[in-house]
Structures are given as structure tokens and as C-alpha cells.
């Protein structure tokens, strides 16, 4: 049995959009889901599948979040599936030390691409260049995002 860590920005997005295939994964694998949120979020996301375990953490600061994620990355997961650029960036940095198989799922560009600030855009593009260059697996939910990132 393989162990899979799924990291998402909300328990709601897991429940609403991702739980259907996580249930399929859990038939033959242990699946742990990690999201920021409260106990209420954790209860909302729970289902009857014994092999899916939900973990939530309070968001206090970027450093706190990074070290919580580090604690999970140290465990013996075979795969880490990351949603949202923030968690993909964290796992990218942590993977320098832990060498996990990371699957990054791009399900939209997000608010990071709405800014007009020149310095933020340049920093974003610089980070994304290395992120994509050294990512082992990237899955795009839609072709428009795939084309956008290939052009960049």
C-alpha cells in the first residue's frame, strides 16, 4: 500500500472538487489530506472512507505553515499531490531535502497573475521558471492554462 499526501488550500475544495478521485486512490492507498482551517473545516471534509485521513492546521504565519508542511514531508509518503502555487512552492523548496515524488496540479492561474506590480510579476516569473524546470510531474486541469505556461 502506498502513502499519498494531498495538500490543498481549503478543505472545501477537496470535498467539492477532488474527493471523488481521492476515494478511488484510497481503495488501494493510504491518503492523508492536509489543509489550513479549523476543526469545522476538518469535520466538513471528512467522509466514511477509513483510508482518507484529514489534517488541518491554523494559519498563523508563512513560517508556521512552512514548518507544518515540513513535518509532513519528513514522513514516508510515496507521492505528494500539491494544489495552489503557495503549497507547490513550499513542496518545491522542501523537496530539495526530502526527495519526494511531487505531483503539481495546476487548476487555474489564481490571484498571483492579477497583479500589475512590475517587481511582483518579475519575482513570480523567476520563481515559476525554476519551479517548472525542476518539477517532476505537472498536471494541468485545462488546456488554456497549459498553453499559457508553455508560452511563458
Longest dimension (CA), the chain: 48
pLDDT computed for residue 39 by the predictor:
62
What pTM, to 2 d.p., does this model score?
0.84
Q: From 3.20.20.140, 3.10.150.10, 3.40.50.2000, 2.60.120.260, which CATH number describes the 2-151 domain?
A: 3.40.50.2000
CA dihedral 129, 101, 83, 52 (to 10 degrees): 180
Cell numbers for 136: 517532476
Which pLDDT tens digits describe the chain residue by residue (152 residues)?
Answer: 899 999 998 877 887 788 888 888 889 999 999 988 766 665 665 555 567 888 888 877 888 899 999 999 999 999 999 988 888 989 988 988 998 999 999 888 878 788 899 999 898 888 888 878 778 889 998 899 888 888 77
Amino acid at each position: 500500500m502506498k502513502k499519498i499526501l494531498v495538500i490543498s488550500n481549503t478543505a472545501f475544495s477537496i470535498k467539492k472538487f477532488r474527493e471523488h478521485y481521492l476515494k478511488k486512490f484510497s481503495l488501494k492507498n493510504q491518503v492523508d489530506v492536509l489543509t489550513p482551517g479549523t476543526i469545522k473545516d476538518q469535520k466538513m471534509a471528512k467522509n466514511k472512507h477509513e483510508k482518507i485521513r484529514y489534517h488541518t492546521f491554523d494559519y498563523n504565519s508563512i513560517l508556521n505553515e512552512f514548518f507544518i508542511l515540513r513535518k509532513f514531508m519528513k514522513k514516508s509518503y510515496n507521492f505528494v499531490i500539491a494544489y495552489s502555487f503557495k503549497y507547490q512552492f513550499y513542496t518545491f523548496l522542501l523537496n530539495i531535502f526530502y526527495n519526494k515524488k511531487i505531483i503539481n496540479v495546476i487548476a487555474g492561474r489564481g490571484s498571483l497573475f492579477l497583479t500589475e506590480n512590475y517587481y511582483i510579476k518579475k519575482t513570480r516569473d523567476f520563481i515559476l521558471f525554476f519551479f517548472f524546470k525542476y518539477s517532476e510531474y505537472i498536471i494541468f486541469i485545462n488546456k488554456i492554462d497549459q498553453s499559457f505556461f508553455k508560452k511563458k
